[in-house]
Amino acid sequence: MSLQMIFIKMGEGFGKTCAIFFLTLLFSLPLGMIISFMRMSKNTVVSKITQFVVSVLRGTPLMLQLLAVTYGPYYLFNISVSRNKLIPVVIAFSVNYAAYFSEIYRGGIESISVGQYEAAAILGYSKVQTFIRIILPQVIRRILPSVTNEIVTLVKDTSIAFTVSYQEMFTIGKQIANSQTSFTPFLVAGVFYYVFNAIVGLVMGKIEKSMSYYKQ
């Protein structure tokens, strides 16, 4: 198989890799914020349960969680495995990354001084207004480097979807490599991942620069 054909075949799988990436971010970023609020809840029960769940999600392999979400319903409840493998893949990835994002959010929120909350209260801001208008912009600016690091990791982690036979880029590359007895498809995959991450780094860098107004 020619190098051009390898690029074309893997380019088809790259679309599915992008689907995992963007859908995971779409769900995990807001879910992570919700989890962080639950983690910081004054209700001890809610806080402790959330802390335990986050520790499990962060302390076990994403591959194991992916297999559990994909095949767990069948083994536990005899429910047929989803024909569309993208659904369990996105669920597993979103929940896993939400756990990591939640801790990043929590660290950013807790880094804001209490004085800013007090000053906002004196000015007549409600708690919601204080968080959205004053706290959140600063939190976003502070956590952007950590969020960027997780997003870069997500690009590479999309390859884990091959464990449930989802036909994303790495899975196709692996199939071509096996059939052609060649390492070239893996090199091509490396190029795709590197370029993807270079674009991510560029975009996140521009976002971070645009948020420099909130830098303290």
Q: Do 176 and 1 meet the contact criterion of CB atoms below 8 Å apart?
A: yes
Share of the chain above pLDDT 70, in %: 98
Which tokens hold the place of 194? 């590197």
Q: Do 107 and 143 meet the contact criterion of CB atoms below 8 Å apart?
A: yes
Half-sphere exposure of 142 (CA within 13 A, CB side): 15
Per the structure, the count of domains in the chain is 1
- Our measurement of the distance from residue 149's CA atom to the centroid of its chain's CA atoms, rounded to an integer in Å, reads 10
pTM for the whole structure: 0.89
Residue 65: what pLDDT? 95
Residue 104's nearest CA partner among 56, 32, 191 is 32
Q: What is the pLDDT of residues 21-30, one digit of tens each?
A: 999 999 999 9
What's the whole-number mean pLDDT along residues 41-47?
93
What's the CATH code of the domain at 27?
1.10.3720.10
Q: Which domain holds residue 27?
A: 3-214
Q: What is the pLDDT of residues 46-105, one digit of tens each?
A: 999 999 999 999 999 999 999 999 998 888 888 777 778 899 999 999 999 999 999 999
Question: What are the C-alpha distances in Å from 116 to residues 122, 130, 145, 209?
Answer: 10, 9, 23, 23
